[in-house]
Structure 1
Amino acid sequence: MKLHYFALFTLIGFLNLNAQDYYFPGANTAWEQKSPKVFKIKDAPLKEAIEFAEANEYSGSRDLRIAILKGFEKEPFHQILGPTKKRGGPAGLILKNGYIVALWGETKRVDMTFSVTKSFLSTIAGLAEDAGLLLNTNDRVGDYIWDDTFKGAHNSKITWEHLLQQNSAWSGELWGGKDWADRPPSEGDRDDWKLATPKEPGTVMEYNDVRVNVLAYSLTHLWRKPMPMVLKEKIMDKIGASSTWRWYGYDHAWTEIDGLQMKSVTGGGHSGAGIFISAEDMARFGLLFLNNGKWKNDQLISSSWIKKATTPSTPNPNYGYMWWLNKKGDRHWEGLSENIYYAAGFGGNFIVIDKENDLVVVTRWLEPNKIGEFMTKVNAALK
């Protein structure tokens, strides 16, 4: 019996020694790099992938004010409402087991990140659930936010999950933005669309920044503090992020809570604002998710939340809680793991989490329709 126990403990020890351990870079220190060969990653295909990213720069203007106005020119009443910033060129890095095995461009440069911000906003909701502020994502938001935002027969049905999955069909106006004016149909009579009855919450995904900003507004009131402060205290400081990132709202997006004026931030940048951040800080955020919400020995966000956030929604199998999922569907990257999930933003900003290969891939200003091909090239270097 003693020998049996000894063998069992020896086996457990062996398994623990061989369990996957990630490297986590310290704050204000150089991120350790390792040769791809250490991980049996092939140099030539990896170099080809990086050259592909550098050669396929997003075609829009580097003056993002111009790129935004051009990209959303079909939206009625569209205008710049928050800060913008001229961008750099293609940049990115690839992490294997937490180590940098490839990087290109200005990885410390702070740039707008557009809808990658949504995945950070989703994380704020996860932190609220972990803290017990949000009891259940299936709860109606109007039970927490008692002002007029969720009044009425339609809006009162909306749950936190509906907002997180972008299928709420919230109807109204926030910060001067009308829900029906965000990303109008390219064909047909827009007046008919504007006057149409809102779809039943939970039935149809509609990518809509006004409704995302309603989520940001609701989370601000739930936390009773500005979202950048929550993100900084709960996540970014603890993962050793730099002090250079910023999270903006529209210039006039102020709300009063407990007698204090607070800025309600945006979940994207298609009217300006959103998160401005470096590729390296994006990679730290990605590494946290690669390790199921744990940074070194500190569980910053629960693995149960990450599982919920990366579960396909009913209307769209490629979308969870503001993370894109590589499931079979319209946005599937053929030949790559269906367990890959990623944050994506206007202009070709991506944070890709590939748990099966212990990879985090950050790429910036890549022509958006080239991301699948780029990831296929990265994957080829692993084989």
Structure 2
Amino acid sequence: MNKDELHNIISNSQSNICQIVVYKDSEKVYSDEWNDYKVDDCTHVMSATKSVVSLLIGIALDQGLIKSLDDKVLDYFPDYTVKRGERTIYDITIKHLLTMRAPYKCKGDPWSKVCSSDDWTKTSLDLLGGRKGITNDFNYQTVCLHILTGILHKVSNMTTVDYANKYLFEPIGVKKHTNYYAETAGDHKHFTMCKDPKENVWFCDPTQIGTPGYGLCLSATDMAKIGLLCLNKGKYKDKQIVSSNWIDEMTQPVLVESDKFRNMMYGYLWWIIDKEKKIYAAIGNSGNVIYVDSTNNIVVAIASYFKPTVFDRVDFIETVIKPFILEKL
């Protein structure tokens, strides 16, 4: 199979893919675009945003801004008033948030409640805890994860996007990002579902704190740089951006007690595909993926526009893209 044949296969069978970039042994070996997207255009990478936030938390830990992942969440919000009768929240740690083991007083994601509030961090804290206590059950959340970027703001006194620009994006050659705030629910929905190319933006709440569970817009080129950073143990062009210890810890697999997530394991906001081969991925709805294969020194980045029936493209990467790259080389 040559590049043109692969292009046509993707056009016919993976219709919402906009860009793919692949690195092998730190060299770019493949790049292509579909759906009239240009190489620098961005898509909303959905929940792959979570994995980028994990890197930011690691950087803050390296800088000493966060002392320990075992710190209690409320240590960072001393002015927060705990709701009457609530006890569980006092014992919830940053690690609980990173591993999706934090309990909440809600079923599913409370989008309307959080996103209609003036302070998404505070509203998310209001939902943290509950009568069942800390069960350590896997509880995948998106909107209430806002507590993590709230913590990052508290310790850095910077907006999420400014912190990311200074300590992650610009050092690895990702274009500077700006905040995007949706004034209305309709604008919010349009941001999520629109198929047109996006600018270099990060969705934020009314206080300018970026959404950690979704909302980041990147090109596949930028996604691949993030994957390459992880593959190279936190180093980019001989500069250590985040510690190698963080990359190792971030990708330690923990069993997910649910077949809802295709029996994958979870690290710190990264999905673990194969613990033996050290393959892991940032996965966002609609098939946005940063796939890191440490054994074969491969990074695959796929950027896609919104298509709700597509959860991930791990199987497609492993059965089509990776064999094509390995055969080509």
- For residue 347 of structure 1, report the CA deviation from its aligned partner: 1.1
Q: Which amino acid aligns with 1:142?
A: L
Equivalent residue for 2:170? 237
> Does residue 1:345 correspond to 2:284, yes or no?
yes
CA separation of 1:227/1:369 partners in 2, compared to 1, >3 Å: closer, same or farther?
closer
Farther-moved stretch of structure 1 (50-59 vs 318-327) = 50-59
Partner of 2:188: none
Match for residue 271 of structure 2 among 294, 309, 324: 324
Q: Check conservation: 1:166, 1:208, Cα contact below 8 A.
A: yes
- Letter of the structure 1 residue corresponding to residue 316 of structure 2: E
Q: Which AA in structure 2 matches 1:99?
A: E
**What one-letter code is carried by the residue in structure 1 that aligns with 2:227?**
G
Give the CA deviation at 1:108: 1.4
User: Do 2:25 and 2:297's aligned partners in 1 also have CA atoms closer than 8 Å?
Assistant: yes
The alpha carbon displacement at 1:345 in A equals 0.7
Aligned match of 2:240: 299
Name the stretch that deviates more: 314-323 or 116-125: 314-323
Indicate conservation of the 8 Å contact 1:310/1:320, yes or no.
yes
| Separation in structure 2 between the aligned mates of residue 102 and residue 149 of structure 1, nearest angstrom | 52
- Rounded to whole Å, the distance in 2 between the matches of 1:338 and 1:238 is 28
Deviation at 1:370, TM superposition (A): 4.3
Residues 1:129 and 2:61 aligned together: yes
Q: Is 1:264 aligned with 2:209?
A: yes
- TM, length-normalised to structure 1: 0.64
Structure 1 residue 212, shift from structure 2 partner: 1.1
Work out the CA distance in 2 between the residues paired with 1:157 and 1:175.
Answer: 27
Partner of 1:101: 29
Paired position in structure 1 for 2:192: none
Secondary structure, aligned partner of 2:246: helix
RMSD: 2.8
Identity of aligned residues (%): 27
* Aligned residue identity for 2:303: R
Matches within 5 A, 1:165-314: 165-171=99-105, 176-177=113-114, 199-201=132-134, 203-243=136-176, 245-250=200-205, 252=206, 254=207, 263-269=208-214, 274-313=215-254
1:53 and 2:10 aligned? yes
How far did 1:267 drift?
1.7
Q: SS of the counterpart of 1:342?
A: strand
- The alpha carbon displacement at 1:47 in A equals 6.4
Classify the secondary structure of the residue corresponding to 2:300. Answer: strand
Count of residue correspondences? 273
Deviations 1:3-42 (A, max 9, x none): xxxxxxxxxxxxxxxxxxxxxxxxxxxxxxxxxxxxxxxx
- Give me the whole-angstrom Cα distance separating, in 2, the residues matched to 1:159 and 1:372: 34
Q: Offset of 1:295 from its aligned partner?
A: 1.0
Q: Which of 315, 318, 321 is the aligned partner of 1:372?
A: 315
Give the partner amino acid of 2:293. D
- Residues 241, 53 of structure 1: alpha-carbon distance in 2 compared, 3 angstrom cutoff: same
- CA–CA distance in structure 1, aligned partners of residues 81 and 15 of structure 2: 37
Secondary structure of 1:236 counterpart? helix
CA distance change for structure 1 residues 228 and 108 in 2, over 3 Å: closer, same or farther?
same
In structure 1, C-alpha distance between the alignment counterparts of 2:248 and 2:82, rounded to whole Å: 28
Aligned CA distance change for structure 1 residues 47 and 164 (closer, same or farther; 3 Å): farther
Q: Does 1:91 align with 2:19?
A: yes
Q: Which moved more, 1:297-306 or 1:197-206?
A: 197-206
Larger radius of gyration: 1
Task: After superposing the two structures, state which structure 1 stretch, 316-325 or 365-374, moved more.
Answer: 365-374
C-alpha spacing 1:101/1:202, structure 2 compared with 1 (3 Å): farther
| Post-superposition offset of 1:159 | 0.5
**Corresponding residue to 1:161 among 95, 106, 116:** 95
2:301 to 343, 362, 366: 362
Q: For residue 318 of structure 1, what is the amino acid of its counterpart?
A: M
Q: TM-score, normalised to structure 2's length? A: 0.74
Q: In the TM superposition, what whole-angstrom CA distance separates every residue of 1:80-106 from its partner, at most 9, and x where no partner exists?
A: xxxxxxxxx532111112222111213
Q: In the alignment, residue 380 of structure 1 is paired with which amino acid?
A: P
Contact 1:129 1:136 in 2 (8 A): yes
- Asked if the contact 2:289/2:313 (under 8 Å) is kept, the reply is no
| CA-to-aligned-CA distance 1:223-246 (integer Å, 9 cap, x gap) | 221111111111111111223622
CA offsets, 1:120-171, max 9 Å, x none? 1111110111011112111211122213276731111110100011110134
Distance change in 2, residues 1:52/1:148 (3 Å): farther
What amino acid does structure 1 have at the position aligned with 2:269? M
Rounded Cα–Cα distance in structure 1 between residues aligned with 2:139 and 2:245 = 26
CA distance in 2: counterparts of 1:90 and 1:199, whole angstroms: 43
Relative to structure 1, the CA distance from residue 287 to residue 154 in structure 2 (aligned partners, 3 Å threshold; closer, same or farther) is same
Q: 2 CA distance for matches of 1:199 and 1:93? A: 44
